[in-house]
């Protein structure tokens, strides 16, 4: 009988989770910096959510709860891992690039700018990357407070420091001499 009960919950679980998967993946991708790790985070969130299906059923805002789990999974994994720089692949850059561009020069400039931003973003510490990525993704301070269990004032201060550090990294990168493209 237990098997039948578990099987009956699969469609319900899918229905509860499906509306949030795209947002969950985007947030995980922004946190981790690459597709494979983002998929691992989302998979772990799904496993944890399934084991707490009764809780998931009762939530008015399951998205915030799922994102809180994703944030914790990311932080736990980062603590276990030896600190290493974010490795971006060509596929990752394709995911951030616009589909249309006025011309090839604009396309190259946009890609170089994206690489500079990603490189600077990778130099932030993991908490700054996580908070900034979630905030840029559009989560409100209230949602971030629930996810991170930080007070609003602490959250504002940490987001401010992350933005300032990112700005300084980008400014320092702009001062680095680069080869000019010949037209």
Whole-number Å distance between alpha carbons of 152 and 143: 10
pLDDT for residue 172: 84
C-alpha torsion 4→9→10→16, nearest 10: 180
pLDDT along the chain (183 residues), means of 10: 47 87 90 89 92 87 89 83 59 56 65 81 89 86 88 94 91 63 40
Q: Which of 47, 63, 54, 46 is nearest to 9 (CA)?
A: 54
Handedness of CA 142, 38, 52, 126 (dihedral sign): negative
pTM of the shown model: 0.53
Which residue range forms the structural domain that includes residue 144? 2-175
Q: Which of 30, 27, 20, 28 is nearest to 62 (CA)?
A: 20
Assign residue 166 the CATH number of its domain: 1.20.140.160
Q: Please give the angle made by the CA atoms of 52, 130 and 168, to the nearest 5 degrees.
A: 175
Q: How many domains does the chain have?
A: 1
In a domain, 180, yes or no: no
pLDDT for residue 134: 86
């Amino acid at each position: 009988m237990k098997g039948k009960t578990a099987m009956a919950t699969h469609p319900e679980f899918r229905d509860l989770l499906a509306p949030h998967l795209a947002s969950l993946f985007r947030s995980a991708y922004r946190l981790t910096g690459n597709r494979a790790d983002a998929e691992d985070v989302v998979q772990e969130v799904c496993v944890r959510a399934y084991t707490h299906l009764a809780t998931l059923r009762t939530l008015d805002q399951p998205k915030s709860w799922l994102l809180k789990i994703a944030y914790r999974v990311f932080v736990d994994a980062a603590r276990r891992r030896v600190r290493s720089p974010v490795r971006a692949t060509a596929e990752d850059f394709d995911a951030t690039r616009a589909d249309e561009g006025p011309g090839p020069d604009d396309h190259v400039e946009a890609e170089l700018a994206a690489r500079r931003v990603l490189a600077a973003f990778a130099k932030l510490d993991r908490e700054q990357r996580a908070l900034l990525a979630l905030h840029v993704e559009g989560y409100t301070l209230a949602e971030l407070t629930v996810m991170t269990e930080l007070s609003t004032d602490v959250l504002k201060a940490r987001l401010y420091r992350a933005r300032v550090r990112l700005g300084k990294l980008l400014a320092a990168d702009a001062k680095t001499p680069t080869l000019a493209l010949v037209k």
